[in-house]
Amino acid sequence: MFAGTVLYALINSVILLLMAIGFNLTFGISGVSNFAYGALYIMAAFATWMLMNLVGLPYFLSAILSILFTALVGALMYRFIIMRVRGQVLSEVIATFGIGLAILEFFRYLGFVGIEYSLPVFLDHSFIIAGTYVDMQRILIVVSSVVLILLLWLFIHHTSIGLAFRGIAQDERTALTFGMDSDYIAMLSVSIGAGLAAIAATVIVPLGTISVGEGYEVLLNALAVCIIGGLGSTGGVIVASLFVGFAQRFTDTYIGSHWTMIVSLVAILLVLVIKPSGLYGKQKELEERI
């Protein structure tokens, strides 16, 4: 049972990581709050479902279209709403959260609740690793996570756009003087972050059904992982997702599922109190505390 728990904990961590990647890019690295993240995740899943079941498109096409669509929605969201409240963090949070709320509850209102709302798995197959069943979908999740993280890391640290992303978070005025159009870059960041959420949704949602409530959980998980790991640090996000993933899984197996969320929340609290910038955060000493 122990080996099985460890394995599933690892997979859980990877799932959390995948969920958090897009959020980290937008909020952690570029400094733009997008609290509609969870809503965009679910929206992507529903979009794929609708394209498949209402329009009749094949799975791959639907998935790709919905990823592009979500990225577009992210860009529009920035251009028409976030851009106007840029800089005031609270307003950004409230505005994006409002959008997310509207989207999620709209789906709930339309009645998109039930077991028939689910996405098919990529390949229906299982392996036995270390004495436990692991299905193909979960393997796919791990693979795609690794690939995405690598791509992201390369993007952020080795391309000029990635550098621009980091630049506007550090000091927007200076970035402007360098000729970076900070609005355009922020829009790209939100858009790509949304696209990443869509990718995560496409891969993770097939594990269960598309549930509106999961939208809020995704946001909370992404937030937790990013905070514990340290906003903006890719390495930190990896470590944090391992930390939270393991904590959640072990609590679930050995203590009881009721306590799973509590453990995550306590973990966040402890990090915030002891080292607010997270495990690998880059906040300067003077800025962290007053």
Partner 1 sequence: MQKRKERIDRGIKVRSEDIFALCSWKEMLYLSGPRLLPLIAFALLPLVLGTYWQRVLLSVAVFGLLAISWDILAQSGMVSLGQALFFGTGAYCSGVLNHYWHLPPMVTIPAAAVVGGVICTLLLLPVLRLRGIYFAMVTLIIPLMLVRIVEATKVFGGTEGLSGLTPLPSHWIELYVSLAALLGALFGFRRVMSSDYGLVLKGINDNDRSVMNAGINIYWFKAQALFLSSAVGAFAGALMTHVYMFVGMPVFALDYSILPIAAVVVGGHGSLAGAALGAFILVPLSEALRALGGLRIVFYGVFLVVFIVALPEGIFHFVTRKYHQFERWVEVEK
Binding interface with partner 1 (CB under 8 A): 81, 84-85, 89-91, 94-95, 97-103, 105-106, 108-109, 220, 223, 227, 256, 258-259, 261-262, 265-266, 268-269, 272-273, 276, 287-290
Residue 63 CB, shortest distance to partner 1, in Å, is: 26
Q: Which is nearer to partner 1, 129 or 255 (CB)?
A: 255
Q: Which is nearer to partner 1, 57 or 81 (CB)?
A: 81
217: its two tokens = 């959980």
Burial profile 137-150: b = 16 or more Cβ within 10 angstroms, e = fewer: bbbbbbebbeebbe
Residue 113 CB, shortest distance to partner 1, in Å, is: 10
Residue 216 CB, shortest distance to partner 1, in Å, is: 9
End-to-end CA distance of the chain: 47
Residue 32 CB, shortest distance to partner 1, in Å, is: 13
Are 14 and 241 spatial neighbours (Cβ–Cβ below 8 Å)? yes
* Distance (Å, whole) CA 280 – CA 78: 28
User: Residue 261, Cα to own-chain centre: how many angstroms?
Assistant: 18
Q: Which is nearer to partner 1, 65 or 83 (CB)?
A: 83
Are 22 and 194 spatial neighbours (Cβ–Cβ below 8 Å)? yes
Residue 105 CB, shortest distance to partner 1, in Å, is: 4
CA distances from 284 to 88, 209, 259 (A): 21, 43, 34
Residue 88 CB, shortest distance to partner 1, in Å, is: 8
Q: Which is nearer to partner 1, 54 or 274 (CB)?
A: 274
Q: Which is nearer to partner 1, 206 or 278 (CB)?
A: 278
Q: Which is nearer to partner 1, 43 or 142 (CB)?
A: 43
Is the CA virtual torsion 7, 10, 16, 17 positive or negative? negative
Neighbour count for residue 163 (Cβ, 10 Å): 15
- Eight-state DSSP code of residue 86: T
